[in-house]
Amino acid sequence: MELHHVGIAVTDLEAAARPYLELGYVREAEGTVESQGVRVVMLRSGSSRVELLEALRPDSAVARFIEKRGPGVHHLAFHTPDIRAALARLEAQGAPLVDREPRPGFGGHLVAFVHPRWAGGVLVELVQE
Ligand SMILES: CC[C@@H](C(=O)O)C(=O)SCCNC(=O)CCNC(=O)[C@H](O)C(C)(C)COP(=O)(O)OP(=O)(O)OC[C@H]1O[C@@H](n2cnc3c(N)ncnc32)[C@H](O)[C@@H]1OP(=O)(O)O
Ligand SMILES: [Co+2]
């Protein structure tokens, strides 16, 4: 599976975007995903994407992450053409799925997460565009 984006937990979207803009990234899209409690700025350079995530609510996953660990790399997201098949395959292998069913992600995509204990402390997101 190809990398779709790197998700980064931030406290200030505009300030966090600056270094990537300096590196030649452009704003591909921005918006809110209420169900995840985040505001998002998606930055892109060629096929590489950086997803900046600012918490909307203190009980969101991103707010809890920042409270425990501070801002920084939050997850790696991988593109799959069939997210339900990918989840079934991972579940059969015993991967600790956070989501057994896909949920709505940014840009109308379907997403699902695998717990960080599966990949050496890295939260993994699957994305079906
Ligand atoms: C914008 C939409 C979408 C997209 O389209 O791209 C997104 O990217 S949304 C991104 C935000 N949403 C999510 O992260 C949803 C999935 N995450 C979760 O469900 C939870 O965060 C979790 C991974 C299941 C952890 O939840 P929970 O167990 O309740 O959290 P704790 O705070 O108690 O942490 C337990 C343990 O896990 C460590 N942790 C938490 N988050 C991460 C992380 N992102 N990467 C690595 N480790 C993480 C946390 O630090 C705790 O460890 P210890 O402190 O060692 O106990
Ligand atoms: Co993401």
**pLDDT at residue number 113:** 98
Number of independent structural domains in the chain:
1
Residue 6 CA to ligand 2 center (angstroms) comes to: 7
pLDDT digits (tens, 9 = 90+) for 59-70: 999 999 999 999
pLDDT digits (tens, 9 = 90+) for 8-34: 999 999 999 999 999 999 999 999 999
Q: Which ligand is nearest to the CA of 71?
A: 1
The closest-lying atom of ligand 1 relative to the alpha carbon of residue 107 is 5
**pLDDT at residue number 85:** 98
Q: Domain holding 96: CATH number?
A: 3.10.180.10
Residue 92 structural domain: 3-128
Instruction: Kindly indicate the confidence band of residue 72, based on its pLDDT and cuts at 50, 70 and 90.
Output: very high
pLDDT digits (tens, 9 = 90+) for 103-127: 999 999 999 999 999 999 999 999 9
The closest-lying atom of ligand 1 relative to the alpha carbon of residue 5 is 6
**pLDDT at residue number 119:** 98
What is 4-40 written as a DSSP string?
A: EEEEEEES-HHHHHHHHHHTT-EEEEEEEEGGGTEEE
**Do residues 87 and 112 make contact, with C-beta atoms less than 8 angstroms apart?**
yes
Nearest CA to ligand 1 atom 20: 61
The residues whose Cβ lies within 5 A of ligand 2, an ion, are 7, 51, 77, 125
Indicate the pTM of the whole model: 0.97
Q: In the predicted model, what is the mean pLDDT of residues 45-52? A: 98
